[in-house]
Amino acid sequence: MFRNDGQGFPAEGYAGGGSRGALVVARANRFPAIGRLIDSPIGDAVDRLAGADLVVDLGARIGSREWFRGLFTCLGLCTAAGMMAPDLKPINFTAEPPMSAAHREQVRALGIAPLGLGGDTGQRIAATGMVEPLTDTPERPRVELAATIGQGDGFARVLERAGVSREEAGKIASMVGDTVPLDDLRAGTRMDLVLGRRAVKSDPRPLETLDFRARFDLKLAVERIDGQLRLKRIPIAVDNTPLRIQGRVGSSLYRSARAAGIPSGAIEAFIKAISQKLAMRGIGSDARFDAIIEHARAETGEVKMGSLLFAGITEGRKKVQMLKWTNGSREQWYEANGVGETKGVMRQPVLGHLTSSFGMRFHPILGFSRMHQGVDFGAPMGAPIVAASDGVISFAGRHGGHGNYVRINHSGGIATGYAHMSRIIAKFGQRIRQGELIGYVGSTGLSTGPHLHYEMYRNGKAINPTSMKFTTVQQLAGRDLANFKAKLNNLLSVRVANGGGAATQDNSAEAEPKDKGKPKKG
Identify the pLDDT of residue 4: 45
Identify the pLDDT of residue 277: 83
Report the DSSP pairing between strands 404-409 and 414-424: antiparallel
Average pLDDT over residues 458-472: 78
Model pLDDT for residues 431-459, shown as the tens digit of each residue: 998 889 999 999 998 888 899 999 999 88
Say if residue 111's pLDDT is above 50: yes
Q: In this predicted model, which residue has the larger pLDDT, 310 or 124?
A: 310
Q: In this predicted model, which residue has the larger pLDDT, 337 or 42?
A: 337
Say if residue 8's pLDDT is above 50: no
How far from the centroid of its chain's Cα atoms is residue 10's Cα?
103
Domains (ranges, CATH) in the chain? 11-71 (no CATH), 143-235 (3.10.450.350), 243-338+482-516 (3.10.450.350), 345-471 (2.70.70.10)
Identify the pLDDT of residue 289: 94
The mean pLDDT of the chain is: 80
Average pLDDT over residues 282-290: 90
Identify the pLDDT of residue 203: 86
Identify the pLDDT of residue 40: 64
Average pLDDT over residues 421-432: 92
Say if residue 349's pLDDT is above 50: yes
Give the Cα separation of 322 and 488 in Å (integer): 9
Model pLDDT for residues 363-390, shown as the tens digit of each residue: 676 666 777 788 999 889 999 999 988 8
Is residue 336 within 8 A of residue 460, CB to CB? The reply is no
Model pLDDT for residues 64-77, shown as the tens digit of each residue: 888 888 888 889 88
Identify the pLDDT of residue 521: 42
| CA dist 40 → 20, 21, 47, 179, 289 (Å) | 15, 14, 11, 117, 95
Identify the pLDDT of residue 50: 64
Say if residue 137's pLDDT is above 80: no
Q: Three-state DSSP class for 112? A: helix
Say if residue 361's pLDDT is above 90: no
Give the Cα separation of 397 and 426 in Å (integer): 10
Identify the pLDDT of residue 166: 92
Identify the pLDDT of residue 116: 55
SS3 content of the chain, % helix, strand, coil (to 5): 25, 30, 40
Model pLDDT for residues 173-228, shown as the tens digit of each residue: 999 999 999 988 999 999 999 999 888 888 889 999 999 999 999 999 999 998 89
Average pLDDT over residues 134-152: 86
Rounded percentage of the chain residues whose pLDDT exceeds 70: 78
Give the Cα separation of 235 and 367 in Å (integer): 77
pLDDT tier, 412 (very low <50, low <70, confident <90, very high otherwise):
confident
Average pLDDT over residues 17-24: 42
Rounded percentage of the chain residues whose pLDDT exceeds 90: 35
Identify the pLDDT of residue 223: 94
Identify the pLDDT of residue 442: 93
pLDDT tier, 239 (very low <50, low <70, confident <90, very high otherwise):
very high
Q: In this predicted model, which residue has the larger pLDDT, 255 or 517?
A: 255
Give me the half-sphere count of Cα atoms (radius 13 Å) on the Cβ side of residue 452.
31
| Lowest-confidence pick of 131-140, 146-155, 364-373 | 364-373
Say if residue 104's pLDDT is above 90: no
Say if residue 422's pLDDT is above 80: yes
Whole-model pTM: value is: 0.50
Give me the half-sphere count of Cα atoms (radius 13 Å) on the Cβ side of residue 431.
2
Q: Three-state DSSP class for 516? A: helix
pLDDT tier, 13 (very low <50, low <70, confident <90, very high otherwise):
very low
